[in-house]
Amino acid sequence: MLARALCLSLLLEVTLYVAVATLAFDASPARAAVAALAGVLGLRAVLVATSYACAFAWHSPAPRLRATQALRMVLAEYAAFVVSFVIIFPVERCWMGADRLPRVAGGAARRRLPVLLVHGYGCSRGAWWWLRRRLEAAGWTVATISLEPVCASIDDYVEPLARRIDAVLAQTGADRLLLVGHSMGGLAARRYLQRCGSARVARLVTLGTPHQGSRLAHIGAGENARQMRPHSDWLRALANPAPLLDTVVIYSPHDNFVMPQANLELPGATARAIDGLGHLAMLFSPRVAIALLAALAAADGAADSRR
């Protein structure tokens, strides 16, 4: 659904740019194509710049970045935005393919727990294209899920997530798995744990999740955006009772989607702050990959010791 919507909107956007360049400025086909490319890239630059302007206006105290660090951060976030929403998400099936979930044969040596990656608001499983490759290269069995409809209530994602967890465990032969959620995906995972319990999950790791909401959600579309507004009834209900299992929160104090950035923190969870990263750039960051691999390895080792 998201891929089709993005393909259609991108086609309409490019058509508009070409029409304006051709009709208003009598541009040649080649120049109209260049104008369309510039329009696509320029609009996304404006969106990223606006997100950082809002993040600065509503920022939480954070380590100060040098000018070069700040510039690299913004450019990396811009690149992640373009790669995600212009290149990967519209043709996600071409980039992702099916999940590779080998089953453990009877009598085989114990393998690591499988990992299920849960994407954020307005995204699809394509969000994990880079990180999935890093996890698989490190020896992890990785599953993904696309949460749809895009603008539904987060509560509506609990049942599909429960079915996906059951399917991953059945296919791999494992009794538990590790949940990783980016942005809204972390909230969906917490809602699953609240409703279904933690018997099938060994650890939750969240990346850039607005555990206490984000002001940016006030301009988002859909019930899930309304639920992510600070102090919403939904977030208050999610916080009671407290998280049911060990949770690791990886976040950037310079996040440009979750504002104020203190709302990324989750009381009672283990926190790992990584400076100078944007919200989408976390999905392409080697530093995030290292922190995530460490959190997964620690949980898997603890699960092994209890066997």
Q: What is the pTM of this model?
A: 0.95
* C-beta contacts of 267-271 below 8 A and 24+ residues apart: 267/242, 268/242, 268/243, 269/206, 269/243, 270/246, 270/295
Per-residue model confidence (pLDDT) at position 1: 78
Number of Cβ within 10 Å of residue 108's Cβ equals: 9
* Among 152, 146, 219, 155, CA closest to 182: 146
Burial of 4-29, coded b for 16+ CB within 10 Å and e otherwise, reads eebeeeeeeebeebbeebeeeeebee
Using the structure block, give the residue that is written with the tokens 């809002």: 54
Per-residue model confidence (pLDDT) at position 306: 62
* Among 252, 270, 272, CA closest to 262: 252
Residue 75 phi/psi, 5° resolution?
-65, -40
Helix (H, G, I), strand (E, B) or coil at 227: helix
Per-residue model confidence (pLDDT) at position 240: 83
Is the predicted pLDDT of residue 242 greater than 80, yes or no? no
Is the predicted pLDDT of residue 263 greater than 60, yes or no? yes
- Using CA atoms in the order 146, 151, 154, 156, what is the torsion angle rounded to 10 degrees? -80
Per-residue pLDDT tens digits for 205-222 = 999 999 999 999 999 999
114 and 178 Cβ atoms separated by less than 8 Å: yes
Per-residue model confidence (pLDDT) at position 304: 62
Per-residue pLDDT tens digits for 4-39 = 999 999 999 999 999 999 999 999 999 999 999 999
Using the structure block, give the residue that is written with the tokens 């993040």: 55
The token pair that represents 108 in the structure block: 């085989």
Per-residue pLDDT tens digits for 114-171 = 999 999 999 999 999 999 999 999 999 999 999 999 999 999 999 999 999 999 999 9
Element (H, E) at 35: helix 29-57
Per-residue model confidence (pLDDT) at position 307: 56
Average pLDDT, integer, range 228-256: 91
* Among 158, 177, 154, CA closest to 99: 177
What count of residues does the chain have? 307
Instruction: Map out the domains of the chain with their CATH numbers.
Output: 95-305 (3.40.50.1820)
Q: What is the mean pLDDT of the chain?
A: 94
Share of the chain above pLDDT 70, in %: 95
Is the predicted pLDDT of residue 106 greater than 50, yes or no? no
Per-residue model confidence (pLDDT) at position 102: 85
Element (H, E) at 12: helix 2-25
Q: Are strands 201-207 and 142-145 parallel, antiparallel or unpaired?
A: unpaired
Burial class (CB in 10 A: 0-12, 13-18, 19+), 93: exposed
Per-residue model confidence (pLDDT) at position 80: 98
Q: Which CA distances in Å does 126 have to 63, 157, 198, 295? A: 31, 17, 26, 22
**Could you tell me the pLDDT band of residue 107, with boundaries at 50, 70 and 90?**
very low
Average pLDDT, integer, range 235-260: 90
Per-residue pLDDT tens digits for 37-82 = 999 999 999 999 999 999 999 999 999 999 999 999 999 999 999 9
